[in-house]
């Protein structure tokens, strides 16, 4: 029987508590061997809840007494770089919560370090593992939707769904506001769906209180191949539920994630070619995290060759350009 993959969790915040630790507790072939957080009382409480045997204030302290194969980085955005580099230096593969980091230069350093170490650095873009998004990407890649003309990615969260204070509201720690928090996911999902063509132009508008980070944004990207992507983001949605949507318009068909539907031109008119799912909407998101971990573990076990995360450098460059465009109130060329 194959040995369990030993995982250290760096950061005991909400992403670790709500998403990753509950999944890992039930995931076969894995063992969470340590939890690292400077807040030792909090870390011990969480470790007890999830039966994690070791707690440490820093990763080196954990490594002194505990062996691990992989590190899950769930730190505030500004600390991703130091956490990832430390994990790589200790010989571990790394799954890093999104976004990878807060600038293109930082992303380049991390990707280069992972490549040099021969370890997998995977960014936790779980929306790439959603059933509906993967189906849409398949129809795009197969050419069934024709020439792709337009992609729209919408991520609107209710005010109650986002923290009112803390590091996500601090530009120095988050790297920005809603653009960094939701935009990194929404832009990555849109670009990944069309296989990350080169971004040529960026135009962004943001709004929010002048004494804080931006709480809303609209982005337009001009891509190689005459594809346009628009992204709409908000932390301040006044509605009963959040709005998440990916929409693709092609010359021969369309795809929509909300509700999930794919149509294309047929000999006798428009045909619904939506693959059957049977999944409840909430299960689509829960399953995506499980599939994300399954993919990461394939790299850790050597079942797949290491893949360089150069597309995350491109994403970081787009985010940098978004902030520059919003600041200058003008289009930015990449």
CATH of the domain at 177: 3.30.360.10
Do 101 and 181 lie in one domain? The reply is no
Stated length of the chain: 334
Q: Write b or e for each residue in 308-322: b if 16 or more Cβ atoms lie within 10 A of its Cβ, otherwise e.
A: ebebbbbbbbbbbbb
Domain housing 194: 127-280+313-333
Of 124, 156, 179, the one marking the end of a domain is 124
| 24 belongs to a structural domain | yes
Residue 1 has what pLDDT? 44
Residues (pLDDT < 70) of the chain are 1-2, 161-175, 278-279, 281-282
Do 101 and 25 lie in one domain? The reply is yes
| 168 belongs to a structural domain | yes
How is residue 169 annotated by DSSP? Answer: G
Of 103, 124, 145, the one marking the end of a domain is 124
Do 75 and 220 lie in one domain? The reply is no
Do 237 and 148 lie in one domain? The reply is yes
Residue 133 has what pLDDT? 97
Of 91, 124, 157, the one marking the end of a domain is 124
Do 259 and 325 lie in one domain? The reply is yes
Do 141 and 245 lie in one domain? The reply is yes
| 151 belongs to a structural domain | yes
Total structural domains within the chain: 2
| 303 belongs to a structural domain | no
| Residue 60 CB contacts under 8 Å (≥ 6 apart), including other chains | 86, 90
Spell out where 164-213 has E strands. 199-207
| 295 belongs to a structural domain | no
Do 205 and 245 lie in one domain? The reply is yes
Residue 195 has what pLDDT? 97
Residue 86 has what pLDDT? 98
| Residue 314 CB contacts under 8 Å (≥ 6 apart), including other chains | 191, 196, 198, 199
Do 98 and 173 lie in one domain? The reply is no
- For the whole prediction, is pTM greater than 0.85? yes
- CATH number assigned to the domain comprising residue 117: 3.40.50.720
Residue 159 has what pLDDT? 86
Residue 20 has what pLDDT? 97
What angle, rounded to 10 degrees, do the helices at 104-117 and 310-328 form?
170
Do 213 and 243 lie in one domain? The reply is yes
| 70 belongs to a structural domain | yes
Do 242 and 136 lie in one domain? The reply is yes
Do 221 and 77 lie in one domain? The reply is no
| 296 belongs to a structural domain | no
| 217 belongs to a structural domain | yes
Residue 283 has what pLDDT? 79
Do 182 and 323 lie in one domain? The reply is yes
């Amino acid at each position: 029987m194959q040995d369990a993959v030993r995982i250290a969790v760096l950061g005991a915040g909400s992403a670790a508590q709500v998403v990753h630790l509950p999944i890992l507790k039930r995931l076969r072939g894995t063992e969470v061997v340590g939890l690292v957080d400077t807040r030792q009382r909090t870390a011990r409480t969480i470790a007890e809840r999830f039966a994690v045997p070791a707690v440490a204030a820093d990763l080196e302290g954990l490594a002194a007494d505990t062996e691990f194969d992989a590190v899950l980085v769930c730190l505030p955005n500004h600390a991703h770089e130091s956490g990832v580099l430390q994990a790589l230096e200790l010989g571990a593969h790394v799954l890093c919560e999104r976004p990878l980091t807060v600038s293109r230069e930082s992303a380049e350093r991390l990707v280069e370090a992972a490549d040099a170490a021969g370890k997998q650095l995977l960014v936790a873009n779980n929306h790439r593992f959603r059933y509906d998004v993967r189906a849409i990407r398949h129809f795009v890649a197969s050419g069934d939707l024709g020439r792709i003309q337009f992609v729209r990615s919408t991520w609107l969260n209710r005010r109650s769904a986002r923290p009112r204070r803390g590091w996500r509201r601090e530009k120095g720690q988050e790297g920005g506001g809603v653009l960094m928090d939701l935009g990194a996911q929404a832009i990555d999902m849109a670009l990944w769906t069309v296989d990350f063509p080169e971004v040529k132009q960026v135009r962004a508008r943001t709004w929010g209180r002048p004494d804080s980070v931006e709480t809303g944004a609209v982005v337009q990207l001009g891509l190689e191949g005459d594809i346009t992507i628009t992204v709409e983001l908000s932390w301040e949605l006044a509605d009963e539920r959040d709005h998440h949507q990916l929409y693709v318009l092609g010359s021969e068909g369309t795809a929509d994630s909300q509700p999930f539907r794919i149509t294309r031109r047929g000999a006798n008119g428009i045909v619904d070619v939506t693959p059957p799912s049977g999944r409840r909407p909430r299960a689509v998101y829960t399953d995506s995290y499980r599939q994300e971990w399954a993919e990461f573990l394939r790299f850790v076990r050597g079942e797949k060759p290491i893949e360089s995360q150069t597309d995350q450098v491109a994403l970081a460059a787009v985010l940098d350009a978004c902030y520059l465009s919003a600041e200058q109130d003008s289009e930015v060329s990449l």
